[in-house]
Structure 1
Amino acid sequence: MRPFFDDFDDLPKYFTNWTTDYLNDLDTSEYPFPNTLWHVKPVKEVALKSTAMVVVGVFGIFLNTIILIILIKNKWLWTASNYLIGNLALADLLNLLICPWFMLVRDFYQNYVLKNFGCRFEGFLQATLLLASVIAVMMVSYDRLAAAALTSEARITKAVAPKLIIAAWIIPFGLSLPWMIKREYMERQWLDFLESFCVEDLKVLGIYWHFILLLLVWIPLGVMVVTYGTIMWRLEWSARELASRGGGQTVSRARTKALRITACVLITTAVCRIPYTIMLYWRNNLNNEINAVEGGYEIMWFTANYLMYVNSAINPLIYGFTNVRFRRAMDRTPGIRCFSFGSWCCICATIQKKHNTADQNNEERVFVIDTNLKANRKISRALKNILQINKQTVELSVPKDELTKPTKLTPLKMEQI
């Protein structure tokens, strides 16, 4: 909250020509509060913003919890890549559990009611959890790049992944310390009102805001553009190389799927994070006057912060539910299988499966003769197999006195030859 006496032209006449230092040393208890008192925002606005935040919070907490439960209960999913996805889910879960409520309380009250604890830890916790989530996203992006376009030596191993995860929490913790050190809770008693606010050291945090913005928005967005762009280039090159040899259908399908995921990741990141940049530059260019933060900037402040939490709620859908192995594990994990996530959580996967099935049915079949040492002397069995010719295998029997052994006809796909 900005001090109420930044613009002396709007102050009462008895404050005219007084300096800021003088006001700070002044016994304000002898003077009325020089601004409009409203204490708490209207009930309708409080209810609307609270409902929007609860919807996103509950949705994101539920999905991130599902990801963590699946990883804990299915040891066959304990791979380096899934460790990184689990770390991302943990960071988003803690972010949605803790930070939105700080934001709502700060927005609803005219005074800073979070007191000294909130002033010291609000910015620190929010910056730590958001930075941990950003680093987790970048590690997942790199892991996918290494799997698709780099050598096996460049991939994150199962032994290295825990060390990277620990570092991904220590680094944000250290980077967020200025929010704890350079903020101070203050109270000022007026004749008719006790004013409370949280003051930032603008000489330090004014510059540090831009550094945090770089870490929260532009670096992760740039990393995603580079990694997913490289993956798409690699898949496109492989598809063209194989197409020149008469194949490449599998790579083409992987390229289409990767394109959808890439578009989803980049659009979501841009929509949810770029407004935070707009908000920060708007804040730095505000006029130094009373109530400058009201109106359009106030709406932008809430929207930008809200979209950051929306991103944390959507991440499980992008990085977890689009994974086939995760979806299969969802329908096998006790306590989660009742939701049948694997059956309905990803429509694109269902459409792709039907498309692949149709392609398989249209493939020409090549029959390879395989001998079977055990003869089947029942003519009825042979007739039954002939009538049911659509089965995957057809067994033909011969008379007993013939020396020829029975044969087994097995259809094979062209790709297997």
Structure 2
Amino acid sequence: MLLVGIVGIFLNSIILIILIQNRWLWTASNYLIGNLALVDLVTLVFCPWFMLVRDFYQNYVLRQFGCRFEGFLQASLLLASVGAVMLVSYDRLAAAALTSEARVTKKVAPKLIIASWLVPFALSLPWIIHREFVERPWLDHLEMYCAEDRDFLDIYWHFILLLLVWIPLGVMVLTYGAIIWRLEISTRTLSSRGGGQAIRKMRGNAVRITACVLLVAVFCRIPYTVMIYWRNNLSMEINSVDGGFAAIWFSASFLMYVNCAINPLIYGFTNTRFRKAMDRTPGIACFKFGSWCYTCSLMNKKKESVPEKDVDKIFMIETSPESKKRISSMIKNILHINRDTIELSMPKLDEVTTKPTKITPLKVDES
């Protein structure tokens, strides 16, 4: 747990430092990624200690405050992390498959972030109300444990499980599936016209990222589902909790925190803009994360290089025969009124020229 905590805190701190020190990264999408990094950072700073203390001691040594506050804090931060992941997933869906009106704007992003914090804290209040610290004296031992109101919390555990596991998995499947479907349609449309190489590459990247996101989510969250169902099916008898349940309890809790440590790699280090800012940000440039990511991307490009005949090219007329132009077009070109457009003049049919036309291919920016 110490290794996961240190690595996760370090990686999430890098994302936040990059976002704070580079104003050109202050976009709505990056706000949502920064919110996810902040939630995971706070989760890894506070929550693992509660789990370790419960595992170290036979009795519940956190007493009344820990009994009521532990479950509330853990549930709140884990739900906030789920909300942040779903916001990032929706933002990517809106950018890839929806209209511009459906995208999250800079004005709306802070409101969504605040809501993603307040709603989980409100949903976690039952952990404060329906848990109580109990001391039971024996002849030679004082037993201490945290008791739950099983009539209420047994049902509420399934509700929390729905929010922590099944809803985020469903949202990620739908959003990334829609992105891949949209890219597939665009690829087929452009391929019929002899193009679509860039869209095909984007589709391949989207498939890889989707597979990574879903595999990590399933691997880190499904054991928590197993633990909850196992717990609720235990009989109300002495010594019904054996060593197997203790192992699955620790593994499920551990993997939930592993997910918080992996999130910055999935959502931050795969972001092109964050990679560009890594080697320019003071305090982080010494780690050369951007250079490592760039080297890995170059290796992937060499492996996935396509034949020259399939590469889409754009051609520009470098020198062309002189011809008669309208006065207004000449004035615009002289004054550079419209610099983004290049007007190409074609000779009239009755004009004969022997001057060759040089055609120079322009490199396509694949980034």
The bucket for the TM-score relative to the shorter chain is 0.7 to 0.9
Name the aligned partner's letter for residue 110 of structure 2: P
Task: Give the counterpart of 2:220 among 241, 249, 272.
Answer: 272
Provide TM-score, normalisation by structure 2. 0.85
Task: Give the counterpart of 1:339 among 284, 287, 294.
Answer: 287
Is this contact kept in 2: 1:331–1:342, CA < 8 A? yes
The alpha-carbon deviation at position 85 of structure 1 amounts to 0.3
Q: Secondary structure at 1:209's aligned position in 2? A: helix
Name the aligned partner's letter for residue 368 of structure 1: I
Provide TM-score, normalisation by structure 1. 0.75
> Matches of 2:7 and 2:223 in 1, distance apart?
22
Q: In the alignment, which residue of structure 1 is the partner of 2:197? A: 249
> Matches of 1:296 and 1:227 in 2, distance apart?
36
Among the aligned pairs, what percent are the same residue? 67
> Matches of 1:106 and 1:276 in 2, distance apart?
17
Name the aligned partner's letter for residue 137 of structure 2: Q
> Does residue 128 of the first structure (1) align with residue 76 of the second (2)?
yes
> Matches of 1:413 and 1:228 in 2, distance apart?
33
For 1:99-248, list aligned pairs within 5 A. Answer: 99-248=47-196
The alpha-carbon deviation at position 355 of structure 1 amounts to 6.1
Q: In the alignment, which residue of structure 1 is the partner of 2:362? A: 413
> Matches of 2:280 and 2:110 in 1, distance apart?
26
> Matches of 2:34 and 2:156 in 1, distance apart?
30
Is this contact kept in 1: 2:15–2:34, CA < 8 A? yes
Task: Give the counterpart of 2:264 among 316, 325, 346.
Answer: 316
> Matches of 1:154 and 1:166 in 2, distance apart?
19
Superposed CA offset, 1:179-217 (max 9, x none): 011111111221101111111111111110000000000
Q: In the alignment, which residue of structure 2 is the partner of 1:296? A: 244
Is this contact kept in 1: 2:314–2:364, CA < 8 A? no
The alpha-carbon deviation at position 107 of structure 1 amounts to 1.3
Q: In the alignment, which residue of structure 2 is the partner of 1:351? A: 299
Name the aligned partner's letter for residue 412 of structure 1: P
The alpha-carbon deviation at position 408 of structure 1 amounts to 11
In structure 2, the CA distance between the partners of 1:415 and 1:165, relative to structure 1 (3 Å rule), is closer
Superposed CA offset, 1:74-117 (max 9, x none): 00000000000000000000111100110011012110001111
Superposed CA offset, 1:22-69 (max 9, x none): xxxxxxxxxxxxxxxxxxxxxxxxxxxxxxx00111010000000000
Is this contact kept in 1: 2:16–2:38, CA < 8 A? yes
> Matches of 2:161 and 2:314 in 1, distance apart?
58
> Matches of 1:411 and 1:362 in 2, distance apart?
18
Name the aligned partner's letter for residue 33 of structure 2: I
Unaligned stretches of 5+ residues in structure 1: 1-52, 372-406
Q: Secondary structure at 2:52's aligned position in 1? A: helix
Is this contact kept in 1: 2:197–2:310, CA < 8 A? no
> Matches of 2:210 and 2:290 in 1, distance apart?
21
The alpha-carbon deviation at position 358 of structure 1 amounts to 7.5
Name the aligned partner's letter for residue 227 of structure 1: T
The alpha-carbon deviation at position 223 of structure 1 amounts to 0.2
> Matches of 1:291 and 1:345 in 2, distance apart?
51
Q: In the alignment, which residue of structure 2 is the partner of 1:90? A: 38
Larger radius of gyration: 1
Superposed CA offset, 1:220-248 (max 9, x none): 00000000000010001110110011000
> Matches of 2:200 and 2:153 in 1, distance apart?
49
For 1:34-49, list aligned pairs within 5 A. Answer: none
Q: Secondary structure at 1:412's aligned position in 2? A: strand
Q: In the alignment, which residue of structure 2 is the partner of 1:327? A: 275
> Does residue 262 of the first structure (1) align with residue 210 of the second (2)?
yes
In structure 2, the CA distance between the partners of 1:367 and 1:277, relative to structure 1 (3 Å rule), is closer
Unaligned stretches of 5+ residues in structure 2: 321-355
Is this contact kept in 2: 1:148–1:231, CA < 8 A? yes
> Matches of 2:281 and 2:271 in 1, distance apart?
15
Is this contact kept in 2: 1:368–1:412, CA < 8 A? no
Q: In the alignment, which residue of structure 1 is the partner of 2:318? A: 369
The alpha-carbon deviation at position 361 of structure 1 amounts to 11
Q: Considering only aligned residues, what root-mean-square deviation do their CA atoms show, in Å?
A: 2.3
For 1:387-406, list aligned pairs within 5 A. Answer: none
In structure 2, the CA distance between the partners of 1:337 and 1:361, relative to structure 1 (3 Å rule), is farther
The alpha-carbon deviation at position 293 of structure 1 amounts to 1.9
Q: Secondary structure at 1:186's aligned position in 2? A: strand
Is this contact kept in 1: 2:29–2:91, CA < 8 A? yes
Name the aligned partner's letter for residue 181 of structure 1: I
The alpha-carbon deviation at position 349 of structure 1 amounts to 2.2
Is this contact kept in 2: 1:322–1:346, CA < 8 A? no
In structure 2, the CA distance between the partners of 1:333 and 1:324, relative to structure 1 (3 Å rule), is same
Is this contact kept in 2: 1:366–1:414, CA < 8 A? no
> Matches of 1:347 and 1:189 in 2, distance apart?
63
The alpha-carbon deviation at position 270 of structure 1 amounts to 0.5
Aligned length: 330
> Matches of 2:245 and 2:189 in 1, distance apart?
53
Name the aligned partner's letter for residue 123 of structure 2: L
In structure 2, the CA distance between the partners of 1:116 and 1:231, relative to structure 1 (3 Å rule), is same
> Matches of 2:291 and 2:307 in 1, distance apart?
21
